[in-house]
A and B are shown apart, each in its own frame.
Chain A
């Protein structure tokens, strides 16, 4: 087996995550799908690191993880705040700025 198969798996997971972001209406599930996309990117980076034989890909994946952690904290705080004021976690209900 060639390690390129890991890249195919990463592409597949990224596509599934993107589909989830487009299809789901619940903000929490949309957020989980974004996490899935980030994880797929990490897998691709780690595989690139192996293909090229240096550790830079792993460093980038490490930074992605840190940014994902920060993003989750802020994103979930925003979801909780919106839920408190509007009593809904649906992305369709947050449409106050719509004309």
Chain B
């Protein structure tokens, strides 16, 4: 029985070209985005596109697993760690090895050409298709293989998962080696060091802004960084409103000036009529 085909349906071709562009764009954004949150979201988009490709290729079980495991669990774990770690972890753009960036780009280009030329040389003109293999159901077919031919690999995978779970707990667990500092001791330490004895000043400018990202103003009108939460300071998310009042006053004066000049000339025109 010869079930070989030479081309997929037109619908699948259209889907491939549209979603393929999306996947490559997402991958490039993952590499090029400056903030790691944006990288993570781009990667999640690429993974969803790949799930659609799995479904198109007849891998129905893997398509669903891709969405559930990759975009659902792994990417959310990534986002969780980005929120935990990424606040002060700005990517330094300084090169530590001279010329490393150009060499890396060159290597990647050569590697890509090698891979793609290798696939191009394979000259696969026809393919079998999964119609026969999936005839008893995709999940049933996979299950039959997992529990017969690949049963040892499957068991070892289970051991690997348990080891990974235990390892993650061991790595992130922190034993407290000293007693927690009490509030009274903290207060005494503050007085002894004498750097900042009263509580820190509050953010916000009276009667104008009370948001936490607006620094309070010192008597001379300059913003005080001390009033803003250190996390916002590290992210650079401080909204400076110290110049707003002066700018508004300047705009008002300019409008008044314009009105005086134009108003007089228009009055003169009106009188001339």
Contacts and interface: CB of A to CB of B under 8 A. Distances in A.
Interface of A: 1-9, 11-20, 22-26, 28-29, 31-33, 35-36, 39, 42-43, 46-47, 49-56, 58-59, 61-63, 65-74, 76-81, 83-84, 87-90, 92
Interface of B: 3, 6-8, 12-13, 16, 20, 23-24, 27-28, 30-31, 36, 39-40, 43, 46-47, 50, 53-54, 57-59, 61-62, 65-66, 69-70, 73-74, 77-78, 81-82, 84-86, 88-89, 91-92, 96, 100-101, 104-105, 107-108, 111-112, 115-116, 119, 122, 124-125, 127-134, 138, 141-142, 145-146, 149-150, 153, 157, 160-161, 163-165, 167-168, 171-172, 174
Contacts of B77: 72-73, 76
B119 A35 contact: no
A65 B65 contact: yes
Contacts of B146: 59, 62
A13 B24 contact: yes
23 contacts: A2-B7, A3-B127, A9-B53, A13-B23, A23-B105, A28-B86, A29-B30, A35-B43, A42-B50, A49-B59, A51-B128, A54-B133, A55-B130, A55-B133, A56-B145, A56-B149, A58-B62, A63-B153, A66-B161, A67-B157, A69-B164, A76-B168, A80-B85
A72 B105 contact: no
A22 B24 CA distance: 18
A36 B7 CA distance: 28
B8 A2 contact: yes
A46 B6 contact: no
A27 B40 CA distance: 13
Given A36-B27, A59-B142, A72 B74 contact: yes
Contacts of B141: 55
